[in-house]
Structure formats: structure tokens, C-alpha cells
Amino acid sequence: MDFWESDDLAEHREAARAWVEANVRPEWVDEQRRSGCHQTMELHALLARDGILAAGWPPQYGGGDVDPGFAAAVFDECARLGLHFDGWATTVMVLHTVQHVGTEAQKRQYIPAALRGELLIALGYSEPDSGSDVAAAKTTAVRDGAEWVVNGQKMFTSTAQVCSHVFVLARTAPDAPKHKGLSLFLVPTDAPGFEVQPIHTLGGQVTNATFYTGVRVPDTALIGEADQGWSVMRVALVYERGVSSPTSVERTVADDLAAWAREARRPDGTAVLDDPLVAERIGRIAVEEEVSRLLGRWMNWNAAKGGVPGPEGSMRKLFWSEAGQRHFSEALDILGAEGLLAPEAPGAPAGGMFEHDFRNAVVTTIYGGASEVLRDIIAERHLGLPRSRPSL
């Protein structure tokens, strides 16, 4: 047993920093915040150009020579600057799914193009009337010769405004039981009948509603077998719980709060960190963040061993998101009135990031498996308790 963390990142840190220095423009961070789109296509093109997207993929599907450790370090350095890659994160999930269940032709069609940066895929699971209950999807796909005709609406299709495709969950056997008549399609966003409408959020992100009106896709757009979409989707879900926060990013609330509290002063001139009421909360946050990190490592370790995924992904997502929400709320309390200042306010502590992250944290207990769904899964699959609701 050892808990040594991979040295991959450390080893590649310097080279990654050099790459970032040479290629990344700091204004992209502001642009992501301003536009609410957590995917910068200019940066994406550079990551593709230098083979960073392709690192670690098999050569027959376009994989390249770039060391995956270097690639991870580049993403990590970019994330430290505040850049998001939400569109790429969902693309990777779908590529893994294609790799697992796609035909050879599909693998050769989609994976290399994505690794070249020509293809970016948003997730089209949720609908206006189905959030956590994804399998209640009403969007339909009807076979018409060698094509499928897609009709319906998807919600929270994040980064669809810049994506080339949406991975659409559609009902293909309307009379089959709820979980047995679903299929998944890669729908191009330039197809006639596709529309996208922005949805503004509390965290500043702009997600989308996407509309599908008689959108025609070829049979090759069907990923996995027809009517088997539920099991296909669960392949991707395994990856989603891991992606929801990059475990490589080690910036923590406790660190940031301690850094602020060491400099900030009470009216009597003492450092805020010397107030036990402040230090106690930062200490508690630090402990819970360590637990979050360890649950993430455990998940990665199990995934790397390649066995059947256990409860670790659900547990980690549940703990991380619930604890994180508490931590940002406590951070604002500790900061007092100053904690309320938005990033636009001059002189906001840490540039208003606490306030921003507090707003953003509310969605973390919803996306990628709402906390209630995760608790149900842990209770049923890990603890062997009976099902407590109609269907999963």
C-alpha cells in the first residue's frame, strides 16, 4: 500500500508551463466568464495542433506520441489559470463510449476527427420534463430507410453553441418499457432542423436548450445498438462522475481562505487567521477537502485497475459536491460583507472568486447525477437495500 501521488504531473510541469506561456492568452479567462461558454475554440485548436488532445489514444484511431502526463499537466496548468474545457470533457466521454460500443467504421470516423479538434460533442440527455430521470426522455428518432429522423427538445446542452455534434438520447421504440426503447445518436449541429437557444445560469455559465425538428441523420450516427441506449449511456456515466471536477486541479478552498485570512486584518490589527472561529472552519474544510481528494484517487485507482466500477464514483461525486457547497457557503460567512462582492466589484477578495464559486456550486449537486440519485445508487447497489423509488 502506498499513497504516493503520480509524479507524472510534476515531471511535466515545467514543459507544460512553457507551453502555456507560449500559447495561452490570459484574456481567454475573462472571455469565458463574459460569454458564459466554458470552451475556448482558439485554445482547442492549439491543443489539437500540438497533439495534446490525441495523447494516450491508440494510434489506429489518431492517437499520437505526446506523453499523456504532459497533456494532463497542460490541462492542469490551464485550469489553474481559470480556463474550462467543458466541451472537450463531454467529447472525451462520448469518444470512450464510441470506443466501447461503436463499430470499427464509427471509431475511425469520429475519434481521429475529434482528436484533430474538428469535432466537439455536447451531451443531449436531459429534457424539459426529465432531469435526474433521464430515461423518461421524450425526444424520438424514427427510422426512415437508411436514415433516422429526430424530433424533440433537449435541456442543459452545455457548450452546444460551439459544438459540432450533440450526443442525443432518443426514444426509438415508443411502446417498449421506459429503459428499453432508447438509442443514442451523434447529431451534427449543422443539420437542418437543429436549433440552439441560450439559457443563462446563476453561475454565469450559458448553457442551452437545443431543438430537433425533423433532423435527419444517417444510420452511422447511431452509437451502439438500437434500443440499447440506456446501457450505452451508462458507459458514459462512469466517465462523467469522474469528469465533474478535474482531480488534477489541487487548488482548494482551504488554501485560498487561509491565504486571504493570513493577510486580512481585524480592526484591532490582528490577522483574521488568528481568530479561532475562522481557523476552526478552515481546518474543517481542509479535512473534508482531503477526504474528497482521497475519494477521487480511490476512484481513479479502481478505474486504472480496470475492474467493474464499484460505488467509488458515486461516493466521490456525492461527497465532493455536497462538501464543496458547504465550503463555499462558509467561505462567504468567514469573509463577511466582503464575501458578497462580485468579480465586477473593485477590491473584491480573491477577485470575487469566492462569490462566483458560491453561485456556481449550487449546480454541482445536480449535474452528473443529483445527490439523491447517487444516494439511491449507493444504497441499492453498494449497501444492498431495496429500491425505494419506482425505477432507476
Partner 1 sequence: MNLDFTDDQEALRGAVREFFDKESPPEVVRAAEPLGFDAALWRKVVELGLPAIAVPEDRGGGGAGFVELAIAAEFLGRSLAPVPLIEAAVATTLLTSVPGEATPAADAVAGELLATVALHPVTGDVARLVPAGAVADLVVVLRGEELLAVRGPGGPAGAAGAVPNLGAMPVADRRLDTGEVTVLAKGAQAVAAHRRAVRHWELLTGAALLGIASRALELGIDYVLDRRAFGVPIAGFQTVQHRLADNSTAIEGTRLLAYKAAWAHDAGLPSAGTLATMSLLFASETAFKTASDSLHFHGGYGYTLEYDVQLYFRRAKAWPLVAGDRRVAYARLPHRLFDATEA
SS (H, E, C) 92-122: HHHHHHHHHHCCHHHHHHHHHHHHCCCCCEE
Look at residue 389 and give the partner it binds from partner 1, a copy of itself, none, a contact being a CB closer than 5 to 8 Å depending on partner kind: partner 1
Does 280 engage in binding with a copy of itself (CB under 8 A)? yes
CA–CA distances in Å: residue 71 to residues 55, 75, 201, 241, 346: 6, 6, 30, 21, 36
Of 184, 52, 165, nearest in space to 119 by CA:
165
- Minimal distance, residue 18 CB to partner 1, in Å: 27
Interface residue with a copy of itself among 174, 192, 276, 390 (CB under 8 A) is 276
Q: With CB under 8 A as the rule, give the number of residues binding a copy of itself.
A: 4
- Minimal distance, residue 276 CB to partner 1, in Å: 4
User: What is the set of active-site residues?
Assistant: 240
Between 197 and 270, name the residue whose CB sits nearer to a copy of itself.
270
Q: Are the CB atoms for 24 and 84 separated by under 8 Å?
A: no
Which uninterrupted H or E stretch holds 229?
A: helix 229-243
Q: Which three cell numbers stand for residue 376?
A: 439511491
Which segments of 65-185 does DSSP mark as H helices, in order? 68-81, 86-101, 104-115
Q: Are the CB atoms for 232 and 214 separated by under 8 Å?
A: no
Between 59 and 276, name the residue whose CB sits nearer to a copy of itself.
276
- Minimal distance, residue 102 CB to a copy of itself, in Å: 42
- Minimal distance, residue 331 CB to a copy of itself, in Å: 18
- Minimal distance, residue 178 CB to a copy of itself, in Å: 21
Q: Which three cell numbers stand for residue 349?
A: 477578495
Interface residue with partner 1 among 124, 152, 203, 324 (CB under 8 A) is 203
Does 303 engage in binding with partner 1 (CB under 8 A)? no
Q: Which three cell numbers stand for residue 119?
A: 469535432
Does 391 engage in binding with partner 1 (CB under 8 A)? yes
The dihedral sign for the CA sequence 175, 176, 180, 183? negative
Of 55, 174, 184, nearest in space to 124 by CA:
184
Q: Which stretch binds partner 1 (CB under 8 A): 21-29, 109-117, 179-187, 201-209?
A: 201-209
Helix (H, G, I), strand (E, B) or coil at 123: strand
Does 184 engage in binding with partner 1 (CB under 8 A)? no
Does 10 engage in binding with partner 1 (CB under 8 A)? no
Q: Report the C-alpha gap between 283 and 299 in whole angstroms.
A: 25
Does 294 engage in binding with partner 1 (CB under 8 A)? yes
Residues 340-359 that bind partner 1 (CB under 8 A): 340-342, 344-346, 355, 358-359
Does 73 engage in binding with partner 1 (CB under 8 A)? no
Does 74 engage in binding with partner 1 (CB under 8 A)? no
Amino acid at 167: F
- Minimal distance, residue 275 CB to a copy of itself, in Å: 7
Which residues pair with residue 290 across a beta bridge?
none
Q: Which stretch binds a copy of itself (CB under 8 A): 91-99, 123-131, 252-260, 274-282?
A: 274-282
Does 277 engage in binding with a copy of itself (CB under 8 A)? yes
Does 275 engage in binding with a copy of itself (CB under 8 A)? yes
Q: Report the C-alpha gap between 167 and 184 in whole angstroms.
A: 7
Interface residue with partner 1 among 37, 295, 350, 368 (CB under 8 A) is 295
Binding site for a copy of itself (CB under 8 A): 275-277, 280
